[in-house]
């Protein structure tokens, strides 16, 4: 029967295409410790849920003998599937086909998926493993990149966009991940840079390995380009799913709710924060003592560790946490930490995730390098993001809130909904020592024993001003609470804010200090 | 509680108060600021020396060409910023320079 013959022919065609660049190329991919593009997609989506499209797409390049070359799927696999039973759009570049190089049709397959994801209001997951532009296709490959970047921008803030870097991602290609919400990298496998080690060597004579220039560690610790770092692809896929469990499928929805669970008993909130404001502790322990099952899913763990960002749940609902981390750099705000927190605040705001801020911060990091790097405009980003955000915004002052930092960390003045403070908190224009030195300068200078007088005046200032009651007396703090009441108070605050409705003046867009 | 390798805390002064905390590698590897010396001409971007016109110990007027420097596929002429004597030329034709590398010293 003709139909049978046609079906057999279809199967044969599919089989050939599914081989990608062929056995030899697949062997090479495997020998580099990498999974194939198809294996990656199948490992991420629910079993039997992947539907591939544009399998039979062929490239249209004619120059440089390209017309004689067959590139299966044009080096990229695209399709839809489900994760937790909910739809996603996904694509994976296939390094075994012409090094995963991006030509026009390759890009068109990706942009078709992006258009689908945006119309269907579902997350887009892009797996990058590509040598870069397909040089033989010239300006057409540039067109391809541009069309991807444009769609990344259109979809930004509407659907979640996840970039998974599982191989090289160099030159212009890096800008698609940079425009997306979350970037995942894997040790020894991910490599991202604008100009590679070869170019740097010829132009500058500087020798550097790919790993040292743009490896997974570099982007997780130094540049801040990556949000999640994993030791293996398997761990990376687990992180992707965990992230998706915390976020909504689009900006018109709320994140999925889970059954409410209590925090683990090991975290004793009243014992974590030392009374002495100069002593460090790990603020993540405070978060863990508040959230369901003490489970905190941290974002950008290694970059700017002086601020902690991530997701946790309160009675089953997703919350975005932002917390100063006294363990590193005393929890100051600086260029990097402001940048890190500001982007996360905007993410939560775009996707209807309430924000809880845990504050314990001495101010902005002093230094010429900070000033010259532009701590003014970077620091302004955090003010901008908090002010702009209209999701429920709740702050707990754990220990100290001095100066500009007090204003920046979601203060009442930036329209926080609820401001709580622990009783030991110091909320003041600056630290007691600095303040006493200025206010009582004359008394200290003219005293017989200036040191003794200084100590006396610092003590006096501390008693009078370094507490939460001055701010509470003015209504800047709504309630002073005991540490053990914090979870209960926060759950109540989030629950009463469920139907929060707040707006900002209509505008084309604001001008955040990029 | 979160368990990690114990690292020694160092002190950091912010807003006139001393805090005990860990320093990040990025913070510790920051470079100290130095005032720029107008008598030192440095490469403002990486590139290489195409040609050297200037001669050591010779007097030049403001605006005289000292050397040409190729960077990002562009030829740039480096001019004498003020009248004076070239004390030392630290580069030679063909040299590949990194950003901030000293090219010419003026007396």
Mean pLDDT confidence for A251-262: 96
Structure token digits, residue A16? 């050939």
Mean pLDDT confidence for A52-75: 90
Binned at pLDDT 50, 70 and 90, residue A70 comes out as confident
Mean pLDDT confidence for A115-139: 95
3-state SS string for A100-149:
HCECHHHHHHHHHHHHHHHHHCCCEEEEEEECCECHHHCHHHHHHHHHHH
Q: Which residues of B touch A437 (CB under 8 A)?
A: 16
Give phi and psi for A236, each to the nearest 5.
-60, -45
Least trusted range by pLDDT, from A195-204, A459-468, B82-91: A195-204
pLDDT tens for B5-50 read 567 899 998 877 889 999 998 898 888 888 889 999 999 888 889 9
Note which residues in 36-75 of chain B have CB less than 8 A from chain A.
46-47
Q: What is the pLDDT of residue A67?
A: 84
A404 at B interface, C-beta within 8 A = no
Cβ atoms of residues A117 and A110 within 8 Å: no
Q: What is the pLDDT of residue A468?
A: 95
Give the domain extent around B60: 40-106
Judged against a pLDDT cut of 80, whether residue A344 lies above it is answered with yes
Q: Dihedral, CA atoms, A117, A34, A172, B30, nearest 10 degrees?
A: 110
CA angle A138, A142, A148 (to 5 degrees): 150
**Domain count within chain B:** 1
Judged against a pLDDT cut of 80, whether residue A451 lies above it is answered with yes
The answer to whether position B84 is within a domain reads: yes
Q: What is the CATH number of the domain that holds B94?
A: 2.40.50.100
- Name the 3-class secondary structure at A421: strand
> What is the average pLDDT score of chain A?
94
The answer to whether position B29 is within a domain reads: no
B35 at A interface, C-beta within 8 A = no
Contact (CB<8Å) B19/A330: yes
Q: What is the pLDDT of residue A110?
A: 98
Q: Alpha-carbon distance B27 to B21, whole Å? A: 12
Q: Which residues of B touch A277 (CB under 8 A)?
A: 17, 19
B7 at A interface, C-beta within 8 A = no
Q: What is the pLDDT of residue A1?
A: 59
pLDDT tens for A355-365 read 999 999 988 99
Q: Alpha-carbon distance B67 to B43, whole Å? A: 11
Q: Alpha-carbon distance B101 to A173, whole Å? A: 31
Bigger pLDDT: A290 vs B47 = A290
Cβ atoms of residues B94 and B79 within 8 Å: no
Bigger pLDDT: A277 vs A422 = A422
Q: What is the pLDDT of residue B66?
A: 94
Q: What is the pLDDT of residue B5?
A: 59
How big is the A-B interface in CB pairs under 8 Å? 92
A265 at B interface, C-beta within 8 A = no
Cβ atoms of residues A397 and A436 within 8 Å: no
Quote the minimal CA–CA distance from B3 to chain A in Å: 10
Contact (CB<8Å) A369/B17: no
Contact (CB<8Å) A431/B20: no
Mean pLDDT confidence for A277-291: 96
pLDDT tens for A75-91 read 999 999 999 999 999 99
CA neighbor of A466 nearest in space, from A286, A324, A276: A276
The answer to whether position B18 is within a domain reads: no
Q: What is the pLDDT of residue B30?
A: 86
Judged against a pLDDT cut of 60, whether residue B3 lies above it is answered with no
The answer to whether position B60 is within a domain reads: yes
Task: Compute CA A49 distance to the chain's CA centroid, rounded to the nearest angstrom.
Answer: 27
The answer to whether position B44 is within a domain reads: yes
Domains of chain A: 25-246 (3.90.226.10), 269-429+467-496 (3.90.226.10), 432-465 (no CATH)
Sign of CA dihedral A136, A137, A138, A141: negative
Least trusted range by pLDDT, from A181-185, A266-270, A377-381, A411-415: A266-270
Q: Alpha-carbon distance A479 to A396, whole Å? A: 10
Within 8 A by CB and 6+ apart from A103, the residues are: A59, A61, A71, A74, A75, A134, A136, A137, A140, A141, A144
Mean pLDDT confidence for A318-347: 97
């Amino acid at each position: 029967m003709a139909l049978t013959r046609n079906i057999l022919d279809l199967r044969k065609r599919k089989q050939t295409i599914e081989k990608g660049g062929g056995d030899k190329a697949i062997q090479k991919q495997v020998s580099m410790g990498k999974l194939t593009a198809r294996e990656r997609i199948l490992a991420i989506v629910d079993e039997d849920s992947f539907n591939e499209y544009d399998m039979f797409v062929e490239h249209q390049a004619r120059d440089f003998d390209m017309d004689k070359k067959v590139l299966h799927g044009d080096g990229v696999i695209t399709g839809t599937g489900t994760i937790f039973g909910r739809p996603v759009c996904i694509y994976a570049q296939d390094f075994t086909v012409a090094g995963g190089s991006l030509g026009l049709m390759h890009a068109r397959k990706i942009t078709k998926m992006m258009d689908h994801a945006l119309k269907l209001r579902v997350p887009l997951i892009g797996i990058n493993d590509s040598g870069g532009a397909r040089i033989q296709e010239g300006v057409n490959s540039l067109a391809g990149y541009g069309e991807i970047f444009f769609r990344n921008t259109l979809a930004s803030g509407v659907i979640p966009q996840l970039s998974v870097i599982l191989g090289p991602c160099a030159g212009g290609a890096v800008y698609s991940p940079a425009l997306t919400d979350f970037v995942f990298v894997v040790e020894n496998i991910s490599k991202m840079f604008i100009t590679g080690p070869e170019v740097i060597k010829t132009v500058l004579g500087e020798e550097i390995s790919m790993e040292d220039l743009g490896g997974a560690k570099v982007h997780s610790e130094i540049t801040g380009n990556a949000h999640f770092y994993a030791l293996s692809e398997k761990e990376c896929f687990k992180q992707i799913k965990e992230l998706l469990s915390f976020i909504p499928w689009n900006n018109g929805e709320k994140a999925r709710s889970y059954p409410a669970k209590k925090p683990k008993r090991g975290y004793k909130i009243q014992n974590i924060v030392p009374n002495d404001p100069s002593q460090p502790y790990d603020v993540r322990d405070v978060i863990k003592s508040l959230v369901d099952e003490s489970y905190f899913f941290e974002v950008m763990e290694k970059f700017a560790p002086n601020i902690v960002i991530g997701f946790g749940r309160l009675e089953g609902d997703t919350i975005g946490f932002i917390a100063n981390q006294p363990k590193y750099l005393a929890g100051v705000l600086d260029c990097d930490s402001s940048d890190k927190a500001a982007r996360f605040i905007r993410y939560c705001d775009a996707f209807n995730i309430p924000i809880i801020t845990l504050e314990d911060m001495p101010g902005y990091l002093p230094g010429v390098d900070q000033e010259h790097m532009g701590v003014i405009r970077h620091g302004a980003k955090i003010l901008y993001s908090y002010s702009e955000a209209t999701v429920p915004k709740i702050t707990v002052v754990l220990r100290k809130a001095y100066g500009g930092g007090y204003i920046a960390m979601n203060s009442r003045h930036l329209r926080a909904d609820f401001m709580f403070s622990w009783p030991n908190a110091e909320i003041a224009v600056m630290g007691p020592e600095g303040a006493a030195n200025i206010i009582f300068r004359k008394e200290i200078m003219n005293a017989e024993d200036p040191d003794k007088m200084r100590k006396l005046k610092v003590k006096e200032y501390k008693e009078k001003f370094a507490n939460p009651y001055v701010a509470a007396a003015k209504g800047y703090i709504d309630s002073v609470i005991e540490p053990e009441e914090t979870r209960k108070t926060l759950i109540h605050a989030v629950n009463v804010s469920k139907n929060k409705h707040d707006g900002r003046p209509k505008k084309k867009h604001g001008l955040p200090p990029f | 509680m979160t368990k990690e390798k114990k690292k020694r805390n160092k002190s950091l002064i912010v807003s006139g108060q001393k805090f005990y905390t860990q320093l990040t590698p990025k913070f510790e590897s920051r470079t100290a600021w130095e005032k720029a010396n107008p008598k030192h001409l440095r490469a403002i971007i990486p590139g290489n020396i195409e040609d050297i016109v200037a001669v050591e110990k010779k007097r030049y007027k403001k605006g005289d060409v000292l050397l040409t420097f190729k960077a990002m596929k562009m030829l740039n002429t480096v001019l004498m910023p003020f009248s004076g004597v070239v004390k030392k030329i630290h580069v030679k034709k063909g040299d590949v320079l990194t950003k901030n590398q000293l090219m010419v010293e003026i007396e």
